[in-house]
């Protein structure tokens, strides 16, 4: 009986490896399909499922899977569980809870990624000095994999933005004339999609707000359109100034696509980036 149990454990481990490989390859649906073949009493299955459902923006499903994973042990006592719980709280915009859980994760397993997520939480909570301290520590722990992000002052950001707009086709430039572009440090709670907060995560790089040009009907009650670019998130996602200039341009063009009324696939087909 013990030998049979060992075989089951070995098989589960193999399937979990396959599921994690699928998730890391960008296929959360395949990861969930593989996970469904693993015994329900294997807690690691539910950690995987919670992570896969997060990738699918299924916050409720992720939370339910986390509950099953932590049935026999508190999340705060296991680094993987704690990380997963923190990620779910972050996507739910429970920023203080996410910051607390990422801090526990960093104590259980001090890594640069955990410090990077602490930096994100600090930025989202408005404490940019603390965010920079976390990023400096992440760079110290992993100098090859983590670099302190490039920073642009207000004049440099404006210059880069003007350059990006100047490279647009004249038709796109004209479309921007009535749409303000707002450069902000971080997303604000006011911009959250209340019905589906996963659509507007704290680490988003940009956001189009309002009615697209395709859907406008000229009614007085329509909200004014605007494009928001989040500087701290853009900076944190880049290794150097050159990367930052390119990422800002790609993000701006992406949001212009939404302003014109294209969905995600349509934006990709536009080839603005």
Residue 221: how many other CB atoms lie within 10 Å: 5
| Whether the predicted pLDDT of 88 surpasses 60 | yes
State in Å, rounded, how far the first CA of the chain is from the last one.
Answer: 59
State the pLDDT at residue 270. 60
- The tens digit of pLDDT for each residue in 232-250 reads 999 999 988 888 888 988 8
Residues of the chain with CATH 3.30.2010.20: 154-270
What residue has token string 């004249």? 170
Q: Domain 154-270, what architecture? A: 2-Layer Sandwich (3.30)
* pLDDT above 80 (res 44): yes
- CATH 1.25.40.10 intervals, the chain: 2-141
**What pLDDT, on the 0 to 100 scale, is given for residue 144?**
92
Work out the percent of the chain whose per-residue pLDDT is above 90.
57
Q: Is the pLDDT of residue 132 over 60?
A: yes
pLDDT at 74 over 80: yes
**Cβ burial 154-178 (10 Å sphere, 16+ → b, else e):** eeebeebbeebbeebeeebeeeeee
pLDDT at 3: 37
As given in the structure block, the two tokens for residue 257 are 């696509």
CA angle 266, 165, 211 (to 5 degrees): 50
Residue 214, SS3 per DSSP: coil
Structure tokens at 111: 């890594």
Cβ pair 128, 118 in contact under 8 A: no
Do 85 and 116 contact (CB within 8 A), yes or no? no
- Would you say residue 216 has pLDDT above 70? no
- pTM of this structure: 0.86
State how far the Cα of 87 lies from the Cα of 48, in Å rounded to an integer.
Answer: 13
Contact predicate 120/134, CB 8 Å: no
* Residue 149 pLDDT > 70: yes
CATH architecture assignment, domain 2-141: Alpha Horseshoe (1.25)
Number of neighbouring beta carbons within 10 Å of residue 215: 9
Beta carbons of 202 and 236 less than 8 angstroms apart: no
Angstrom distance (rounded) from CA 22 to CA 39: 19
pLDDT in tens, 7-28: 345 666 789 999 999 999 999 9
Q: What is the pLDDT of residue 1?
A: 35
Closest CA to 255 of 180, 186, 192: 180
- As beta bridge partners, residue 226 has 209
d(CA 255, CA 165): 12
Q: Is the pLDDT of residue 139 over 70?
A: yes
pLDDT in tens, 183-209: 999 999 888 888 888 889 999 999 999
Q: How far apart are CA 219 and CA 216, in angstroms?
A: 8
Say what the pLDDT of residue 173 is. Answer: 82
25-40 confidence digits (pLDDT tens): 999 999 999 999 998 9
Q: What is the pLDDT of residue 2?
A: 33
Q: Are 89 and 98 in contact (CB under 8 A)?
A: yes
Other C-beta atoms closer than 10 Å to the C-beta of 71 total: 10
């Amino acid at each position: 009986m013990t030998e049979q149990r060992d075989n089951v454990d070995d098989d589960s481990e193999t399937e979990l490896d396959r599921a994690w490989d699928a998730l890391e390859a960008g296929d959360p649906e395949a990861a969930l399909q593989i996970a469904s073949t693993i015994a329900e009493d294997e807690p690691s299955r539910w950690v995987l499922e919670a992570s896969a459902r997060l990738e699918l923006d299924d916050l409720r499903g992720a939370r339910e899977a986390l509950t099953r994973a932590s049935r026999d042990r508190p999340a705060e006592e296991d680094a993987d569980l704690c990380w997963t719980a923190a990620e779910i709280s972050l996507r739910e915009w429970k920023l203080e809870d996410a910051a607390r859980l990422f801090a526990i994760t960093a104590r259980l397993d001090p890594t640069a990624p955990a410090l990077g997520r602490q930096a994100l939480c600090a930025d989202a909570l408005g404490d940019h000095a603390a965010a920079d301290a976390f990023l400096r520590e992440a760079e110290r722990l992993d100098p090859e994999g983590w670099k302190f992000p490039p920073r642009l002052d207000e004049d440099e950001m404006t210059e880069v933005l003007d350059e990006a707009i100047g490279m647009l086709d004249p038709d796109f430039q004209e479309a921007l004339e009535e749409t303000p572009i707002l450069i902000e440090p971080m997303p604000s709670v006011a911009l959250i999609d209340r019905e589906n907060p996963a659509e507007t995560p704290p680490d988003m790089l940009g956001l189009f707000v309002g009615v697209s040009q395709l859907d406008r009907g000229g009614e007085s009650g329509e909200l004014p359109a605007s494009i928001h670019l989040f500087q701290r998130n853009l900076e944190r996602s880049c290794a150097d100034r050159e990367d930052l200039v390119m990422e800002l341009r790609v993000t701006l063009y992406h949001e212009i696509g939404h302003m014109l009324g294209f969905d995600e696939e349509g934006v990709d087909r536009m080839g603005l980036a």
